[in-house]
């Protein structure tokens, strides 16, 4: 054998044997503190610069503290028994030392560091061949000297942690809420719409990244300042992608060692608190500047990045953000996600799949909580990981609706490849464990039953085939009131959203000329009537007097009709749709000016926009399921009408950014009549599905292949 190859194989083993026989020594730089977790005293220990936090019982930590690099296993065993009264075997001490050998808690000589480095390099080469990326957190840059930055900044902003600033901030937040009051609904919806990447252009995405990244830097700096306030050393900061969104991170984990429970909660909440302070400053700028100014628009976008939306997202306890850390402290479960996931995974393996698995012990009263949290947390994490796939599909659908699913599916496979690999490995293990049992179960009778079941699934027409399109709710009848005579609005008796009945007075006008003309016509009618009466008594010129009286009656009627038009009444029963209708008071109207609009919303029509390519499957009388935006339960209806020609789609149902430079598809209009239960409002939008028919699985597959050839290939 080659002597160089022999040395390469043998040398790494020799120092490892020497190291394991050398008495261990606890690194003097390790920080530790005793806490109460789940009602039990627990010592938390951490080596500055390392990522792991270790938990020991007080006796275990007392034993580890006796590792001084000089005492042998036997001496440590005797000393521990003498000081604590608890006997521990020499072999147990040696086993504990071997367990901790590769941990960062024990002091390592230069030789040991070289061995550890060589092992890490060796393992990194193996991982590089089958490396998988955790797309929930992708670290791009790390700064190990972050404590210098935080130490420099803390004296300048230490007022942030004073009592007076805390109470002042609460007052500022109340003032901010007052500034939002009249536009709270708009700000609420915009706070979440701002994070809708399916309707953003390239410029919008760059702007979002810069704003979100800058605010994330301020947010993480606040965590570091809070940690420094409680005596922690900030070991590092870095830039990362969390579910593909730009973010920073700040390692203030020493607070979890040195600080108490409330110190950890304050450190976790500090980022959100400073976000809200920045949001208040942006709100003042937005509130004090004119609409259309660049600084006004920028301040509003900063409000979106630091206000309601980001605070709610950060407080969400289902992913490892600030809310998760706060929630873990409140329920006194420091590693809630890992513990609950491990428990549920092992329970499912053992009890559902009957696989050999050891279920971690969890107190009976906490088991439902663990299971529910693990399910919700896992579902939410997968939804976030699906985000890039959905965004890719929506962007590419504008350019190629037929083929957009291919790159989106590729992105999904790339993002979920580690999860897919775990699933494949699990299925292999399940197959190997159940292989013999499954083969024994497949008797001829069972095989025939399974084949019959598969045939039913494939050829039984129970699978719905839908045609999907957007829809807009419109009232069944609408009355638009215009001024029929000029005048000045004296009173408006309704507000937007008021319910009115037919004949209800809505607006009262005043026109002095009409009023004078009506009074004059009444006077002339009275004079003509008196003259006609006199002519009857005198038996002279009666015909002429009667003719004049009839003419004055017509003039008075016309004048009275014009005067009545100064009082505008609702021609139908319905709801007032015109916003800010009270602003009409004092306004001068000309003949034909729009005054207000009343809609009969007791019955609504859903205007469904059906793509042209799907019209050959749609027929009047088919069942339609309408899902309003923001709702979970759909509404059922029947397709009543279909337009014979294509119509332009209503404003806002399709993003304009997706249609620039493209030929949008043509739509045909379908109508579904719906009774209003009091929870439907005109102008609401959503997605409708027309049930074309029910098909078999084989028929759906055949149809997909036919469409692929007919429309997408040819």
Here the tokens at position 458 are 């494939």
pLDDT of 665 higher than 80? no
Domain with CATH 2.40.30.170 in the chain: 465-473+602-713
Among residues of the chain, what percentage have pLDDT more than 90? 3
Tell me, what's the pLDDT at 458?
A: 82
Domain with CATH 3.90.930.60 in the chain: 12-129
Higher-confidence residue: 615 or 278? 278
Tell me, what's the pLDDT at 616?
A: 80
Assess contact for 233 and 301: CB atoms under 8 A: no
Reduced 3-state DSSP string for 564-619: HCCEEECCCCEEECCCCHHHHCCCEECCCCEEEEEEEEEEEEEEEEEEHHHHHHCC
Binned at pLDDT 50, 70 and 90, residue 244 comes out as low
Residues 6 or more apart whose Cβ sits within 8 Å of residue 264: 255, 256, 325, 329
Binned at pLDDT 50, 70 and 90, residue 242 comes out as low
Tell me, what's the pLDDT at 707?
A: 66
> How would you list the strands of the sheet with 588-589, edge to edge?
567-569, 505-510, 487-492, 588-589
DSSP 32: E
Measured between its terminal Cα atoms, the distance across the chain in Å is: 66
For residues 315-329, average pLDDT: 85
Tell me, what's the pLDDT at 709?
A: 64
Residues 6 or more apart whose Cβ sits within 8 Å of residue 165: 159
Binned at pLDDT 50, 70 and 90, residue 19 comes out as very low
For the chain, give the mean pLDDT.
78
pLDDT of 516 higher than 50? yes
HSE of 326, CA atoms in CB hemisphere, 13 A: 16
pLDDT of 5 higher than 80? no
Say if strands 667-675 and 623-628 run parallel, antiparallel, or are unpaired: unpaired
Assess contact for 604 and 495: CB atoms under 8 A: no
Tell me, what's the pLDDT at 11?
A: 35
**Angle, to 10 degrees, between the axis of helix 697-707 and the axis of helix 444-459?**
50
**Residue pLDDT, tens place only, 197-231:** 656 666 777 777 788 888 888 888 888 899 888 88
Taking alpha carbons only, the member of 643, 691, 686, 685 closest to residue 667 is 643
Phi, psi dihedral angles at 644 (to 5 degrees): -75, -20
pLDDT of 18 higher than 50? no
Please give the CATH number for the structural domain made up of 465-473+602-713.
2.40.30.170
What residues are paired with 471 via a beta bridge? 608, 686
Assess contact for 514 and 566: CB atoms under 8 A: yes
Alpha carbon 51 to its chain centroid, in Å, reads 30
CA-CA distance, 562 to 641, in Å (whole number)?
A: 41
pLDDT of 658 higher than 60? no
> 332 vs 120, 139, 262, 477, 505, CA distance in Å?
35, 29, 12, 59, 63
CA-CA distance, 344 to 375, in Å (whole number)?
A: 8
Burial label for 5, CB within 10 Å (0-12, 13-18, 19+), is exposed
Higher-confidence residue: 273 or 27? 273
pLDDT of 599 higher than 60? yes
pTM: 0.59
pLDDT of 531 higher than 80? no
> 341 vs 86, 219, 318, 378, 521, CA distance in Å?
35, 29, 12, 8, 89
Please give the CATH number for the structural domain made up of 12-129.
3.90.930.60
**Residue pLDDT, tens place only, 670-694:** 999 888 877 787 778 888 889 888 8
pLDDT of 80 higher than 50? yes
> How would you list the strands of the sheet with 245-251, edge to edge?
137-143, 236-242, 245-251
For residues 607-636, average pLDDT: 84
Q: Count the helix, strand and coil residues of the chain and give each as a percent rounded to the nearest 5.
A: 55, 20, 25
CA-CA distance, 691 to 626, in Å (whole number)?
A: 11
Taking alpha carbons only, the member of 128, 415, 376 closest to residue 244 is 415
Tell me, what's the pLDDT at 168?
A: 92
Binned at pLDDT 50, 70 and 90, residue 113 comes out as low
**Residue pLDDT, tens place only, 579-588:** 887 878 888 8
Assess contact for 61 and 45: CB atoms under 8 A: yes
């Amino acid at each position: 054998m080659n002597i160089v190859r022999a040395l390469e194989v043998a040398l790494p083993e020799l120092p490892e044997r020497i190291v394991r026989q050398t008495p261990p020594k606890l690194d003097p730089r390790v920080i530790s503190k005793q806490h109460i977790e789940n009602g039990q005293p627990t010592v938390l220990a951490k080596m500055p610069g390392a990522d792991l936090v270790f938990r020991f019982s007080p006796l275990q930590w007392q034993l580890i503290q006796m590792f001084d690099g000089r005492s042998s296993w036997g001496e440590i065993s005797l000393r521990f028994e003498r000081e604590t009264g608890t006997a521990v075997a020499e072999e147990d001490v040696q086993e504990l030392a071997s367990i901790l050998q590769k941990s960062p808690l024990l002091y390592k000589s230069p030789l040991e560091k070289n061995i550890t480095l060589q092992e890490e390099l060796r393992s990194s080469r193996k991982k590089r061949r089958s490396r998988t990326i955790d797309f929930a957190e992708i670290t791009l840059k790390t700064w190990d000297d972050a404590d210098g930055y935080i130490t420099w900044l803390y004296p300048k902003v230490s007022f942030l942690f004073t009592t007076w600033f805390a109470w002042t901030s609460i007052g500022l937040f109340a003032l901010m809420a007052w500034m939002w009051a009249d536009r709270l609904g708009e700000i609420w919806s915009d706070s979440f719409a701002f994070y809708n990447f399916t309707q953003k252009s390239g410029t919008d995405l760059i702007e979002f990244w810069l704003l979100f990244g800058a605010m994330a830097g301020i947010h993480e700096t606040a965590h570091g300042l809070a940690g420094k306030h409680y005596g922690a050393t900030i070991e590092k900061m870095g830039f990362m992608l969390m579910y593909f969104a730009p973010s920073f991170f700040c390692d203030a984990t020493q607070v979890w060692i040195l600080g108490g429970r409330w110190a950890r909660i304050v450190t976790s909440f500090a980022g959100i608190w400073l976000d809200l302070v920045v949001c208040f400053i942006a709100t003042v700028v937005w509130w004090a500047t004119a609409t259309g100014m660049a600084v006004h628009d920028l301040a509003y976008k900063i409000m979106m990045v630091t206000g309601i939306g980001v605070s709610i997202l950060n407080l969400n306890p289902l992913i490892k953000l600030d809310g998760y850390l706060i929630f873990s402290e409140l329920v006194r479960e420091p590693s809630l996600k890992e513990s609950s996931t491990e428990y549920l995974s092992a329970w499912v393996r053992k009890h559902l799949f009957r696989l050999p698995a050891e279920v971690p012990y969890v107190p009976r009263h906490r088991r439902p909580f663990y299971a529910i949290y693990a399910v919700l947390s896992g579902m939410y994490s997968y939804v976030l990981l699906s985000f890039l796939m959905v965004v890719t599909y929506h962007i590419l659908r504008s350019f190629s609706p037929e083929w957009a699913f291919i790159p989106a599916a590729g992105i999904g496979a790339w993002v979920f490849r580690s999860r897919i690999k775990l699933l494949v490995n699990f299925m292999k293990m399940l197959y190997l464990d159940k292989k013999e049992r499954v083969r024994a179960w497949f008797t001829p009778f069972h095989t025939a039953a399974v084949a019959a079941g598969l045939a039913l699934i494939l050829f039984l027409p129970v699978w719905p085939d839908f045609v999907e399109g957007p829809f807009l709710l419109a009232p069944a009848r609408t009355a638009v009131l215009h001024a029929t005579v000029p005048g000045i609005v004296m009173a408006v008796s309704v507000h937007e959203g008021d319910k009115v009945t037919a004949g209800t007075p809505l607006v009262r006008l005043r026109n002095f000329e009409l009023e004078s003309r009506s009074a004059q016509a009444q006077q002339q009618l009275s004079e003509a009537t008196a003259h006609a009466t006199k002519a009857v008594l005198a038996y002279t010129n009666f015909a002429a007097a009667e003719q004049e009286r009839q003419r004055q009656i017509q003039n008075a009627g016309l004048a009275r009709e014009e005067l009545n038009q100064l009082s505008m009444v609702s021609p139908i029963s319905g709801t007032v749709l015109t916003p800010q209708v009270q602003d009409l008071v004092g306004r001068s109207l000309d003949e034909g000016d729009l005054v207000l609009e009343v809609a009969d919303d007791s019955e609504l029509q859903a205007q469904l926009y059906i793509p042209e390519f799907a019209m050959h499957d749609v027929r009047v009388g088919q069942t339609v399921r309408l899902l309003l935006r923001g709702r979970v339960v759909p509404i059922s209806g029947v397709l009543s009408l279909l337009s014979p020609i294509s119509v332009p789609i209503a404003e806002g149902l399709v993003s304009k950014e997706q249609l620039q430079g493209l030929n949008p598809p043509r739509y045909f209009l379908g109508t579904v009549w719906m009774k209003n239960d009091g929870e439907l409002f005109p102008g609401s939008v959503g997605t409708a599905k027309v049930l074309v028919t029910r098909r078999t699985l084989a028929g759906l597959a055949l149809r997909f292949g036919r469409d692929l050839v007919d429309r997408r290939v040819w």
